[in-house]
Structure 1
């Protein structure tokens, strides 16, 4: 994982660069968001950047990028979908659609922890005409947690964080999908219990 580009961007734009890091994938640059967030954390240890300002800059960049993708999907609909399907992001697009269909609104939150799906999900949600408030409800808290995890990895392990990210790339998606599946199972069990309770009350009535 080469961070030379991040170094150059930080030297020129300071805190603004940490905001811009989150937009790199949005513009199609093959630079992992995980690396960008961890780099922002690392640089607060190795240079005199304020951790709070750096974190907020990174977080705002992530949610504004996701909101912009949602808006594009909502405004342009099938036009942007057809264009993406013909691009190199087609496989990510299909994964995002499948994930949303399988897990519903919770897919918005957990998509942040799954590379590839994270990029396509805001577009898919926008095209699907999900209300923006619901998108924010699931996306913004998840983005905060995601940013905090990777930002802290950069701060705690400033010398070896690229190697750690390489290993986490496989672990975190598995954990995220497991949590989503467990949550859905619990919701279904609760719904069945509520239905059973309602039927018993009708019989007694």
Structure 2
């Protein structure tokens, strides 16, 4: 079952809680599909009036900020052994290579790595714990954490919600005949482009005939 189809069976209050908890756990350092849950929930809110996008965005933002703060505290207390333990539990996400990449990002960007890390799946998981391990001053971390959480969670909710509203309104005004014609034209165009691409490939692969030698004059 698709994520959005499953969310349609869940009460609105549960969706708010689910979004906040999943994003919070992801920000804490547990690899979970927080962004997928958020996007699916925001799209669902654009189609169902019982889900308030403002409350949804607020829950997502709160989960992101609180989760990152807990991750920071755990990372500051656990230090390097924590990263080694996470590497054993989640080798796909906390491998030595991924940790080294995240550390280089922190060394290069500093506090901005926490802010922009919200928009990058790998850094979104690493940001809190790694900032604690690297002993980043908490007040700097907190500012970047709060701003990043608001922009990422709130912004994603708003953009996906309004895109969903516009798309649904457009599809309602669009006749089924027009929709079928658009699909047919799109398929025909794709097949034509593929055919031309194959012809161009075959032409390019054909050997170029060498010019015949001109007989020397007597």
Normalising by structure 1, report the TM-score: 0.67
> Shift of residue 54 of structure 1?
1.3
Question: 1:140 aligned to 2:161?
Answer: no
Work out the CA distance in 1 between the residues paired with 2:137 and 2:106: 14
Name 2:181's counterpart in structure 1.
none
Question: 1:43 aligned to 2:49?
Answer: no
Identify unmatched segments of 5+ residues in structure 1: 161-205
Q: Would the aligned equivalents of 1:21 and 1:37 in 2 still touch at CA under 8 Å?
A: no
1:1-205 superposed matches below 5 A:
2-3=2-3, 7=7, 10-11=10-11, 13-25=14-26, 26=28, 28-31=30-33, 33-47=34-48, 48-86=50-88, 87-89=91-93, 90=95, 91-158=97-164
Normalising by structure 2, report the TM-score: 0.63
Q: Equivalent residue of 1:130, what SS?
A: coil
Q: Would the aligned equivalents of 2:4 and 2:40 in 1 still touch at CA under 8 Å?
A: no
Work out the CA distance in 2 between the residues paired with 1:104 and 1:41: 31
Work out the CA distance in 1 between the residues paired with 2:149 and 2:24: 14
Q: Would the aligned equivalents of 1:73 and 1:80 in 2 still touch at CA under 8 Å?
A: yes
Larger Rg computed on CA atoms: 2
Query: Alpha carbons of 1:126 and 1:9: their partners in 2 closer, same or farther (altered >3 Å)?
Result: farther
Task: Please give the root-mean-square deviation of Cα atoms over the aligned residues, in Å.
Answer: 2.7
Work out the CA distance in 2 between the residues paired with 1:8 and 1:80: 38
Work out the CA distance in 1 between the residues paired with 2:79 and 2:9: 33
Work out the CA distance in 2 between the residues paired with 1:95 and 1:72: 20
Identify unmatched segments of 5+ residues in structure 2: 168-218
> Shift of residue 57 of structure 1?
0.7
Q: Would the aligned equivalents of 1:44 and 1:155 in 2 still touch at CA under 8 Å?
A: yes
Q: Equivalent residue of 1:88, what SS?
A: coil
> Shift of residue 52 of structure 1?
1.6
Q: Equivalent residue of 1:116, what SS?
A: helix
Work out the CA distance in 1 between the residues paired with 2:140 and 2:125: 18
Q: After superposing the two structures, state which structure 1 stretch, 13-22 or 121-130, moved more.
A: 13-22
Q: Paired residues, what number?
A: 159
Q: Would the aligned equivalents of 1:108 and 1:121 in 2 still touch at CA under 8 Å?
A: yes
